[in-house]
Amino acid sequence: MATLTSTIPAKQNIASQIWDALTRPHITITELSERRRATIASALLLALAISFSVLLIILPTLPVIVPVALSFIGYAISRSQHINTGIGLSMFAFVLSIFWQMAIVTDWSSVSALGYMVWMVVPVVLSGLLFPPRITFWLVVALITSIYALRFVVFTNIPAAGFGVAGGFVTMLSAIIALASYLQEFYFLRPQLDEIRRTQRELETKNRALELANAEIKDFSYMIAHDLRSPLVNMTEYVNEIRYSLDTVKPAIEAGMGTLTTEQRSPVQLAVHSDLPESLDYLETSAKRLNNLVGEILRLARVGQRETTQDKVALPALIDAIVKRYPHALTEQSVTIGTLPEQVVADKVIVEEVITNLIDNAVKYAQPGRPLHLDISAETKPDSVVIHIRDNGRGIPTAENSNVFMPFRRASNTNDVEGTGVGLYYVRALVERQGGRIWFTSQPGIGTTFSFSIVNLIAQL
C-alpha cells in the first residue's frame, strides 16, 4: 500500500493556495488516478454547485434550498475519501433541480428543449467522466427517485404527458451516462490497466533474469566442484607420492651416512627426518584445508538453490539422533534435553543441518580440560518454535561478537581447533532461508547459548 508523502512547495501564491484548499483530495486517497479524479470532481462539483445556486436564485419562482444544499453537501462529501458518494449526491441534486424546473414548465413551447438538454447533459457527461462504472447504477436510481420525489412531495399532480416526457429523458440520460462511463474508462481505467500490464512485464523480465542468474550460479558451483577440487586432489596424492619416494630413498641415505663427516651428517639427518616430512605434512594440511573450504563454499552456494520443503519434523527423535553421533563427547550425563515440541513443520534437511552444525561447534569449542555439558531446550511461541543450545565451552570473546556470523572469520581463541570460519555463516543462511532468526549469548570462559527460531506453519494455520 503506497503511503502518502506530501511535499510542501516552497512558495505558493494566494490563488493556488485557495485552489489547493478547495480541491485537494482526501489524505487517504493514494492511488494516482483516484487522486486525479478526486481533484477534478471537487473542482467541477464546486463550480456547478455555485453556478447552479446562482442560477436558481435568479429564477425566484423555484424552491432553491433543497437541491442547492444537497449539491454543496455532495461537494463536501466528495472531498472526503467517499468521492463517489459525493458525486452521486451532487448529481442527485442537479437532476432533482432539473426535473423540478421541467415539471413547473410543462409547456415545451416556452422553453427550448435543447436548452434543457444542454443543462442536463453537461453535468451528467462531466460527472460521467468521473464515475467508476458502478456509479452509473446509482445515478439511474437517483434519477428515478428524483422523479418520484417531485411527484409525491412537491406536486400532487403531474400530467401523464409530463411523465412520458420524464421517462423519455430518463432513458436518454441513461444512454448518456453509459457513454460517459465508457469515456471515463478510456481516460482513467485504461491507463491503470496499461500500468498494471507494464508492471507485470517488468516482473516477468526480472524473473527471467533471476532464473538466468541462478543457472549461472549453478554452473559456477559446478565449476568450483570440478576445476578447483581436481588440483587439490592431485596435491594430496603427490604429497603421498613424495613420502613414498622418500621412504624408498631413506635406506640408501642411511647406508651412505657412514661416509659423511659429523658436520656433514647433521644437516642431512635434519633434512631427511625432520624438514622433509614436516614440509610434506604442512603441504598436505593446506591442501586439505583448501578442500574443506571449497566444500563449504559449495554447500553455501547450494543453500539458495534448493526449494525449502515443509516436513513434519519429529524434533526429539532428530536431536537424539544427532547427539548419538558424538558418543565420546556427549554421553548421557553430559546432555540435558528439556521438553521439546513433538512435531514442528519445517524443512527437515535445514533443521537437521542447523542443529548438527551447532552441536558440532559446541563439541569442537569445548573448554579444554572441562567436561562438556550441553543443555538443549525449546520455547513454543504463538507462531514459532525457538530452540536453545547451551554449552559450557570456552565462549566467544566479547569484542569479537560482531564477527560470529561473518564468513571466513574465526574467534581468536580457536587457534587449537580446525575450522574454516564459514560454518555459522552457512547456518544463518539456512535459518533465514526458512524465515527464522538466529542469535547467541556468550560469556568467555563460561559458555555460549545459540538460539534459533523456526517459523511454525502449523501454528500459523
Partner 1 sequence: MTLRTIVIIEDDPAHARIIERMLSRLGLQNPLLRCATGNEALQLLESLVNNSSTAMAKQYALLIDINLPGLNGFQVMEKLDANTALTGIPRIIISTSDEPYDVRQSEKFAHLAYLIKPLDYARIVELIKGLDA
- Positions in the binding site for partner 1 (CB under 8 A): 222, 225-227, 229-231, 233-234, 236-238, 241
The torsion angles phi and psi of 134, rounded to 5 degrees, stand at -65, -25
CA triple 74-78-81, angle to 5 deg: 140
User: Do 370 and 394 touch, CB atoms closer than 8 A?
Assistant: no
Three-class DSSP category at 378 = strand
Smallest gap from Cβ 236 to partner 1, in A, equals 7
C-alpha neighbours within 13 Å on the C-beta side of residue 148:
6
Residue 408 — left, alpha, or beta (φ > 0 → left; ψ -120 to 50 → alpha)?
Answer: left
Minimum CB distance to partner 1 smaller for 157 or for 230: 230
Smallest gap from Cβ 237 to partner 1, in A, equals 5
DSSP of 220-236: HHHHIIIIIHHHHHHHH
Q: Considering only CA atoms, which of 306, 300, 383 is closest in space to residue 348?
A: 306
Q: Which H or E run contains 60?
A: none
Smallest gap from Cβ 3 to partner 1, in A, equals 47
Q: Considering only CA atoms, which of 316, 432, 446, 326 is closest in space to residue 376?
A: 316
Q: Cα–chain-centroid distance for residue 98?
A: 53
Smallest gap from Cβ 217 to partner 1, in A, equals 14
For residues 294 and 283, what is the distance between their CA atoms, to the nearest angstrom? 17
Smallest gap from Cβ 230 to partner 1, in A, equals 5
Minimum CB distance to partner 1 smaller for 225 or for 293: 225
For residues 37 and 129, what is the distance between their CA atoms, to the nearest angstrom? 9
Minimum CB distance to partner 1 smaller for 145 or for 234: 234
| End-to-end alpha carbon distance in the chain | 24
Minimum CB distance to partner 1 smaller for 70 or for 287: 287
Q: Considering only CA atoms, which of 7, 4, 61 is closest in space to residue 34?
A: 4
**Who contacts 154 (Cβ-Cβ below 8 Å, separation ≥6)?**
63, 100, 103
Minimum CB distance to partner 1 smaller for 80 or for 236: 236
Minimum CB distance to partner 1 smaller for 134 or for 226: 226
Minimum CB distance to partner 1 smaller for 229 or for 348: 229
Smallest gap from Cβ 218 to partner 1, in A, equals 9
Cell of 414: 580457536
Minimum CB distance to partner 1 smaller for 236 or for 356: 236
For residues 332 and 323, what is the distance between their CA atoms, to the nearest angstrom? 9
Smallest gap from Cβ 288 to partner 1, in A, equals 11
Minimum CB distance to partner 1 smaller for 40 or for 298: 298
Smallest gap from Cβ 244 to partner 1, in A, equals 8
Three-class DSSP category at 448 = strand
Smallest gap from Cβ 226 to partner 1, in A, equals 5
